[in-house]
Structure 1
Amino acid sequence: MQTASTNICERMGHFQELSEFKRGTVIGCHLCNKSIREIFLLLNIPWSTVNGIITKWKKLGTAATPHNAAKW
């Protein structure tokens, strides 16, 4: 018998970090006034990821990952 936590873990994908190029592409699209919807459809990246990249860029001025970001 499986527990609820086992089921969730089986359904969830593994974390995969976006390349610096893709994060930069998201920011570039945002600067060209593309909506989040247009960006995630164009780049085939989840909406939440696109939103997170843009939010982090607005707050910190960088889209770098925590181990690459000097401001973390």
Structure 2
Amino acid sequence: MHEISRLLNIPRSTVSGIITKWKQLGTTATQPPSGRPRHMTERVQHAEAHSALKSPTICRVIS
């Protein structure tokens, strides 16, 4: 690992993490997050849309 990190000029901890990920998953691709996605209620969507109208440069509405 030390030789790899020196050749690629990246920290040893990064090399170690990549090797560990490869051994566990067989890939280094980013995996989807675990758990169920959050459910946005209609009230939250309305509040976000309202704040985006007040300040469109700061917020964006996700449709």
TM tier, smaller: 0.3 to 0.5
Higher relative contact order, structure no. (Cα contacts within 8 Å, ≥ 6 residues apart): 1
| Structure with greater proportional helix content | 1
Q: TM-score, normalised by structure 2?
A: 0.47
Report which of the two structures shows the higher radius of gyration computed on alpha carbons.
2
